[in-house]
Amino acid sequence: GAVVSQHPSRVICKSGTSVKIECRSLDFQATTMFWYRQFPKQSLMLMATSNEGSKATYEQGVEKDKFLINHASLTLSTLTVTSAHPEDSSFYICSADDRLLAGEETQYFGPGTRLLVL
Amino acid sequence: KQEVTQIPAALSVPEGENLVLNCSFTDSAIYNLQWFRQDPGKGLTSLLLIQSSQREQTSGRLNASLDKSSGRSTLYIAASQPGDSATYLCAVRLDYGQNFVFGPGTRLSVLP
């Protein structure tokens, strides 16, 4: 089946630094990728929708200048957390759509990236 | 705005029991519904995907049903095992090309 990878799987950084997380679709092209965030003991919440070649659409309450999303190719979307603070510590999960020839669509999830900001 | 709820929030059962996890969603106009499993500190494992036109899906000891008109889905786990202990998430897809909306999850603990 289709696979979505994320890199890194885990990152620890100092407060004030920037962290880049990559999301790749390994054997299919994804015109749309989604970024979710999961705080401890909570469920996944959509942060933004990333469309190849255009600006991302952010959910209400998500700062677009803090969480920079770039979807430069059909297989790669990146999320950069700028000037990270401890409250940004979370589990970040991406997903990507595989649009099949039959018109159906399946969304595959990456394994997640755990960010800890000290 | 679509909202997804799950009952119970947590469940602890002895090994071997059959159990039912419930999921409700407020807007019945969904594209599909998916059940996931999440182990502590890990990503999502897809369990069952039900398209909006389907009523149920089965995989091994798992059976998921969908009643779109009433905004409900149930996940049935037969003969539970300690290895089934995890958080189970229900999520609905709003439309083709759209994101999932997740429920808060049910934390399942199966005791040996």
Assign 3-class secondary structure to A47-68: EEEEECCCCCEECCCCCCCCEE
Closest CA to A47 of A74, A66, A28: A66
Average pLDDT, chain A: 91
Could you give the percent of chain B with pLDDT greater than 70?
100
User: What pLDDT shows up at residue B7?
Assistant: 95
User: What pLDDT shows up at residue B47?
Assistant: 96
User: What pLDDT shows up at residue B95?
Assistant: 87
> Which tokens is B72 given?
């409900």
pLDDT band at A58 (very low <50, low <70, confident <90, very high): very high
> Which tokens is A88 given?
């940004």
Tell me whether residues A49 and B43 touch, CB distance under 8 A: no
Lowest mean pLDDT among A45-49, A104-108, A109-113: A104-108
Q: Which of A45, A93, A97 sits opposite B97 (nearest CB)?
A: A97
| Rounded mean pLDDT, B15-25 | 97
Residues of A in CB contact (< 8 Å) with B are 32, 34, 36, 42-46, 49, 93, 95, 97, 104-107, 109-112, 114
User: What pLDDT shows up at residue A102?
Assistant: 54
Q: Chain B: nearest CA to A1, how far in angstroms? A: 12
* pLDDT(B11) > 70: yes
CB B18 within 8 Å of CB B78: yes
CB B30 within 8 Å of CB B92: yes
* pLDDT(A101) > 60: no
> Which tokens is B88 given?
């189970």
Q: Which of B91, B97, B104 sits opposite A105 (nearest CB)?
A: B97
* pLDDT(B41) > 90: no
Q: What are A14-54's pLDDT values in tens digits?
A: 999 999 999 999 988 888 899 999 998 888 999 999 988 88
| Rounded mean pLDDT, B78-102 | 94
pLDDT band at A56 (very low <50, low <70, confident <90, very high): very high
Tell me whether residues B43 and A114 touch, CB distance under 8 A: no
